[in-house]
Structure 1
Amino acid sequence: MSASYVFFTGAACGLLLLAAAKLAISYRRQDAARWLLLLITGAFFYLLRPVLPERGPLLDFLVDVPTELIPGAFWLFSYALCSECERFPRLGWSLIAVSVAVGLAAAHLDAEHWPALCHWLYLLKQPLQLGLIAAGLVTLLRQYQSDLVESRRNLRACLLIAIGSYMLIVVCAEFLFSNRTVPAGVPTLHAVLASGLALGACLWLLAVSPQALAESLPRAPEAEAEEEVPVVEPQPLDEQQRQLLEKLQSHMQGGGYRHTGLTIRELAEQLDAREHVLRALINRHLGYRNFNEYLNQFRIDEASARLADPDQAHLPVLSIALDIGYRSLSPFNAAFKRRHEQTPTEYRREKLPA
């Protein structure tokens, strides 16, 4: 094992510990930060494992557990970061549990007694891990365009390009070299890459944009009173922003939200405004973190009024949903239930009793 490999591995591990300390101190109440902390812990043990002295089976197992959790933690962090307060799907928990169980079994079953089983478990391990990483990347891509929080959009892009690519390369490389001799220099190159990513993460988290993670993470209602990061008040609107805000409100009150599949880019074109200016206006001055959330305010208001109107009692719920801009009934039902904690049909039945 070369000295350069040990040096860069130690540097990466030290930087990861620094990032973990920052997360644990400042963001421990955020679910997304907890999953990120688990991801960092797994990466720490993954890098440290080759340089540790010989260990017993139990210590090997304890070191491997957080390592096997890395792909699942990446998906959980991506979901918590981008899905606001939506619950993680039950199927996702099952897939993560299966991936961890398969990985640990492939690493710790006695290959002499179970050669065929260990072989198939190892072949199954890589697709499962790649699937979890892909799920995390898809989560980061989902609704990227409608995300109004600029710092979170930047974080999504960095995770997609840097972390996602790195994890995919590592999993594929492990599979490629599983039955071959690893070429000289590859471990050192990996250590250099890992230390570079860890250094970039620490610089971003601690120096370049120390408030970016706090702005990106979904707010935990129970922790707001104890939030350590000060809330930055929005700057007063200048004349151009005030005019754009008035134009936006007039356009939306006139039914601009009814356009099916409306994106913030299309809305900016309709208002003859720059997209990034409109994003900042809706996010910082109106308080919305997602463009679809902003549209739903107007759409659900209209839907609620129409569902409670006796003159429109004959209209199917689907017709109302399509009229106000939804492509199908499912997203309308989900948005309506988040607002009223009941389905549109239940709401209509309550407002228009037979």
Structure 2
Amino acid sequence: MSVSYVFFTGSACALLLLAVAKLAISFRQQAAGRWLILLLGGVFFYLLRPLLPVENAWIEVLLDLPTDLVPAAFWLFAFTLCSECDRFPRWGWGLVALSIAVSTAANLDLSILAGPHEALYILSQPFKLGLITAGMLALLQQFHSDLVEARRRLRAVLLIAVGGYMLIVICAEFLFSYQPVPAGVPTLHAVLASLLTLAACLWLLAVSPSALAESLPQVAEPEIEINETKNEPPSLDEQQRLLLQKLQAHMQSGGYRHTGLTIRELADQLHAREHVLRALINRHLGYRNFNEYLNQFRIDEASARLADPDQAHLPVLTIALDIGYRSLSPFNAAFKRRHSLTPTEYRREKLPA
């Protein structure tokens, strides 16, 4: 093992420990922060593992377990980062558990598993690729509706740099399991890992130390504390004030009813720059997602129409389509988040027979 490989691997591991310490101090109370700590910890063990030759099979499994958790941690972190209101799906937990079980069994190089060992290893690769792909899809989901600029940048970096890099590493590992590793590839991998972790630490600790706090889902606080510490929205200049008035007038006149309305289309309708409108809705009105902003108006109208005796004959689907939804499923989900009732249950409660 070359000196340069050991040097760059050690550098990457030291930087990862620094990042993990920072995250543990500042974000250990948040689910997304804990998944990110687990992700970085798994990468740490992945890089350090070749430098720790172990003869005991069970100790090898324990040392490999954090690495096996990396794809799952990536998916869970991406989902928690981008889905503030949704719970991780139950089937996702089953897929994560199955992937970890298969990977752990594949790492057991015992005589009793000599036969199925290779088959389990081959089977574990699609699971890892699937979890990473699921994480990348979570980062892409509603990307253009995200109003938090720091989180949009973080999504792009995770998608391109981290997700793409992990996909390449897993595919390369699978390929080199059956072919000799070309000279210089391990060192190149260590250099790239060191540069990636260095860039992450510089971003986290120096360039934009508040970006991660802005990106992670907001932690709910007790109502009393909110009332005592709630910050006033930032003051607006004349141009922003005029844009806010146009936005409010446009929404009150039913601008939210346009099916599939995007932040870009709304900016065009208001003759405003998209990034200015994003910042206005996020920083002044307090919304982190554009669809969440639209749902405020849509669910308000739907609630009134469902409670109106004169519209009791209208199907729920008709109301959903009238107020801008493409189908019933997203309308039901948004409505239930607001009222903890389905639209049909809400109508039955407001208009008893």
Question: Which residue pairs with 1:209 in the alignment?
Answer: 208
Match of 1:131 in 2: 130
Aligned to 1:170: 169
- Map 1:226-305 → 2, pairs under 5 A: 234-305=233-304
Task: Give the match for residue 310 of structure 2.
Answer: 311
- 2:102–2:124: 8 Å Cα contact kept in structure 1? yes
Instruction: Say which is worse superposed, 234-243 or 154-163, in terms of deviation.
Output: 234-243
Deviations 1:88-129 (A, max 9, x none): 00111111111111111111142x443441121111111110
Shift of 1:234: 4.3
Percent identity, please.
Answer: 73
**CA distance in structure 1 between the partners assigned to 2:270 and 2:326 by the alignment:** 23
Runs of 4+ in 1 over 4 A off after TM superposition: 222-227, 230-234
- CA-to-aligned-CA distance 1:37-70 (integer Å, 9 cap, x gap): 0000100000000011434223212111111000
**1:329 matched residue in structure 2:** 328
Partner of 1:183: 182
* Residue matched to 2:70: 70
Q: Which residue of 2 aligns with 1:338?
A: 337
Pairwise mapping of residues 152-171 of structure 1 onto structure 2 (< 5 A)?
Answer: 152-171=151-170
Matched residue, 1:91:
91
Cα shift at 1:86? 1.3
In the comparison of the two structures, how many residue pairs are matched?
351
CA distance in 2, matches of 1:337, 1:72: 29
Secondary structure at 1:221 match in 2? coil
Cα separation, 1, equivalents of 2:6 and 2:261? 53
Root-mean-square deviation (Å): 1.7
For the Cα contact (< 8 Å) 1:15–1:199, is it kept in 2?
yes
**Which amino acid is 1:315 matched to?**
L
| 1:222 to partner: Cα distance | 4.3
Distance in structure 2 (CA, Å) of the matches to 1:328 and 1:131: 28
Q: Which amino acid in the other structure matches residue 149 of structure 2?
A: E
| TM-superposed deviation, 1:224 | 9.6
Contact 1:85–1:218 (CA under 8 A) maintained in structure 2:
no
The equivalent residue for 1:194 is 193
Query: Are 1:41 and 2:41 matched, yes or no?
Result: yes
Which residue is equivalent to 2:218?
A: 219
| Preserved CA contact (<8 Å) 2:105 2:120 | yes
Q: Give 5+ residue unaligned stretches, structure 1.
A: none
Q: Distance in 2 between matches of 1:52 and 1:226?
A: 49
> Measured at CA, do residues 224 and 151 of structure 1 come closer, stay the same or move farther in structure 2, by a change above 3 Å?
farther
Q: Cα deviations across residues 221-275 of structure 1 (Å, max 9, x unaligned)?
A: 1489999xx9876431000000000000000000000000000000000000000
Match of 1:142 in 2: 141
Contact residue 258 and residue 324 of structure 2 kept, 8 A: yes
Aligned pairs for 1:101-116 (under 5 A) are 101-110=101-110, 112-116=111-115
Q: Deviations over 1:297-324 (max 9, x none)?
A: 0000000000000000000000000000
CA distance in 1 between counterparts of 2:286 and 2:270 reads 20
Query: Alpha carbons of 1:235 and 1:12: their partners in 2 closer, same or farther (altered >3 Å)?
Result: same
CA distance in 2, matches of 1:15, 1:59: 25
TM-score by length of 2: 0.96
The range that moved more, 314-323 or 172-181, is: 172-181
Q: Residue 20 of structure 1 aligns with which residue?
A: 20
Tell me if structure 2 keeps the 8 A contact 1:29–1:223.
Answer: no
Q: Following the alignment from structure 1 to structure 2, what is the Cα–Cα distance between the partners of residues 201 and 85?
A: 27
Distance in 1, matches of 2:60 and 2:218, equals: 37
* Residue ranges of structure 2 left out of the alignment (5+ in a row): none
Match of 1:10 in 2: 10
Q: 1:233 to 1:11 in 2, by over 3 A?
A: farther
